[in-house]
Amino acid sequence: MDISKIFLNNNGTPKFKPDISFNYYVFIKIFMENLDTIEEDLKLLRKTIKESFNCAYDSVSTRVSNIYGYEFSFSIYGKDLFLWDHSGGTAIGNVLLDDDLTARKEQLNKMIQLTEKFTNGIIECGLCGKDMNYQENRSHRYHAGIYCFDCWMSKIKEIEAKETYN
């Protein structure tokens, strides 16, 4: 691939970050396919991009855009689908995809709804799952998860404190 030098560093690596972004419609279609091979298929796609652009594998993220055009990062491990915000720093949701296609379609629609909610400032508590305002609760953070005030005070804070002092 011949890319203009203005886009490349002296060592040939790109100055840009190539990402793989699907719209929500394609995203749902992809995960309605064979789940036994999807993790490997996406790995191969990332590897192809990595090799085409001579960049680090880790810098190629897989993304889904919602109806508003906002992008979210996702990963699949086996049948376990994880969704994060644009930066990958905040967990939006995760689901173990069902083998039953009707149930799986609902799960995938729910994942897309979570991205739409997040664009509108709403995130589910990482423990009890209730809807809450992201900005008001973003400080209740443990790893990539955000928790409501009650879960934070009653459970998460304690776990975090134990880890800190161990």
Task: By CB under 5 A, name the binding residues for Zn ion.
Answer: 125, 127-128, 148, 151
Question: What is the C-alpha separation between 139 and 163, in angstroms, rounded?
Answer: 18
Question: What is the C-alpha separation between 89 and 94, in angstroms, rounded?
Answer: 14
Residue 146 beta carbon to Zn ion: minimum distance, rounded to whole angstroms: 9
Q: What three-state secondary structure class fits 35?
A: helix
C-beta closer to Zn ion: residue 16 or 149: 149
Among candidates 158, 106, 149, which has minimal Cα distance to 128? 149
Residue 153 beta carbon to Zn ion: minimum distance, rounded to whole angstroms: 10
Q: Which letter does DSSP use for residue 99 in this model?
A: S
Residue 58 beta carbon to Zn ion: minimum distance, rounded to whole angstroms: 32
What would the two tokens of residue 93 be? 């949701």
C-beta closer to Zn ion: residue 24 or 93: 93
Residue 123 beta carbon to Zn ion: minimum distance, rounded to whole angstroms: 11
C-beta closer to Zn ion: residue 63 or 140: 140
Residue 130 beta carbon to Zn ion: minimum distance, rounded to whole angstroms: 6
C-beta closer to Zn ion: residue 108 or 148: 148
Q: Do 81 and 74 contact (CB within 8 A), yes or no?
A: yes
C-beta closer to Zn ion: residue 102 or 139: 139
Q: Do 90 and 97 contact (CB within 8 A), yes or no?
A: no
Question: What is the C-alpha separation between 131 and 137, in angstroms, rounded?
Answer: 11
Element (H, E) at 64: strand 62-65
